[in-house]
């Protein structure tokens, strides 16, 4: 499979935030979100066999531990990714799969925790989530909305109610979008939507969502990759 990078850091944006985690970042994405901070994954990378990926994960996290499969859009390489995830499970890893849900998720092994990033209108990629994937979600999974505006917030709020999302998944995450050229200050000044404003909307509407901030952008310079 084509891999952009494999590294160890802290998980940054789910209910697993703050835990040590090995990231396997696959190359390639079929979407072009306006605020994407991972454009370096669109091209390049290096070809690795499943065995080479497993060896690198074992070197970074011997004996198990948390592994996040991310991208880009990892499900574009489903044919090789599904066996990789199965082998990681066999080696006692806990796996998070970060995906936009634009590809069908029915073949993902059940113990894999899906973190599905449903795209909102301001991403420029709204309407790309495949509604069939709602049936592939379980109580282990999480759905994330990255929000850049009030319109995005209203879209996410309506989506949650329309599809009874709180009854389907473990957590619903609302996260303010970051400017993709953010650098320097490690604070919320780079957010496209003020976290305080978002918090007040969530409280006022009693939305069953957790406010999440991208932890790594408050620990390291937001421009730094591979953390
Ligand atoms: S799906 Fe993810 S990697 Fe692809 S363009 Fe959107 S934010 Fe970037």
Q: Which secondary structure element, helix H or strand E, spans residue 92, and what is its range?
A: none
For residue 73 and ligand 1, the question of a CB distance below 6 A is answered with yes
Nearest residue by C-alpha to atom 6 in ligand 1? 33
**pTM of the entire structure?**
0.94
Q: What number does the ligand 1 atom closest to the CA of 102 have?
A: 1
- Tokens representing 130 are 């495949």
pLDDT recorded at residue 226: 72
> Is the pLDDT score of 186 beyond 80?
no
Q: Which residue has the higher pLDDT, 213 or 19?
A: 19
Give the mean pLDDT of 161-171: 97
> Is the pLDDT score of 214 beyond 90?
no
CA 204 to ligand 1 centroid distance, Å: 30
For residue 33 and ligand 1, the question of a CB distance below 6 A is answered with yes
Q: What number does the ligand 1 atom closest to the CA of 30 have?
A: 4
Give the mean pLDDT of 154-182: 94
Give the mean pLDDT of 2-16: 96
Q: What number does the ligand 1 atom closest to the CA of 72 have?
A: 3
CA 36 to ligand 1 centroid distance, Å: 5
Which residues on neighbouring strands pair with residue 18, listed in sequence order?
A: none
Half-sphere exposure in the Cβ direction for 158 (13 Å, CA): 8
pLDDT recorded at residue 133: 98
**What is the DSSP pairing of strand 210-211 with strand 171-176?**
parallel
pLDDT recorded at residue 63: 87
pLDDT more than 90, % of the chain: 85
How many whole angstroms separate alpha carbon 6 and alpha carbon 133?
Answer: 27
Would you list the DSSP string of 143-154?
EEEEE-SHHHHH
List alpha helices for the chain, DSSP H: 50-60, 78-90, 150-162, 195-205, 216-219
């Amino acid at each position: 499979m084509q891999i952009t990078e494999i590294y160890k850091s802290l998980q940054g944006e789910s209910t697993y935030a703050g835990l040590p985690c090995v990231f396997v970042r696959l190359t390639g994405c079929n979407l072009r979100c306006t605020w994407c901070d991972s454009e370096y994954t669109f091209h390049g990378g290096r070809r690795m066999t499943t065995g080479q990926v497993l060896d690198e994960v074992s070197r970074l996290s011997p004996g198990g531990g948390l592994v996040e499969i991310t991208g880009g859009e990892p499900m574009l390489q489903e044919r090789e990714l599904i066996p990789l995830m199965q082998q990681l499970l066999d080696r006692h890893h806990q796996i998070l799969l970060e995906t936009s849900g634009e590809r069908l998720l029915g073949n993902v092994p059940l113990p894999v925790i899906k973190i599905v990033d449903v795209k909102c209108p301001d991403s420029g990629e709204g309407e790309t989530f495949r509604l069939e994937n709602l049936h592939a979600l379980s109580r282990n999974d999480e759905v994330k909305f990255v929000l850049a505006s009030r319109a995005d917030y209203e879209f996410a709020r309506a989506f949650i109610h329309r599809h009874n999302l709180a009854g389907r998944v473990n957590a619903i995450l609302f996260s303010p979008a970051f400017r993709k050229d953010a650098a320097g200050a490690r604070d919320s000044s780079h957010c496209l939507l003020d976290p305080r404003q978002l918090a007040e909307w969530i409280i006022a509407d009693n939305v069953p969502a957790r406010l999440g901030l991208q932890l790594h952008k408050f620990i390291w310079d937001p421009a730094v990759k591979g953390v």
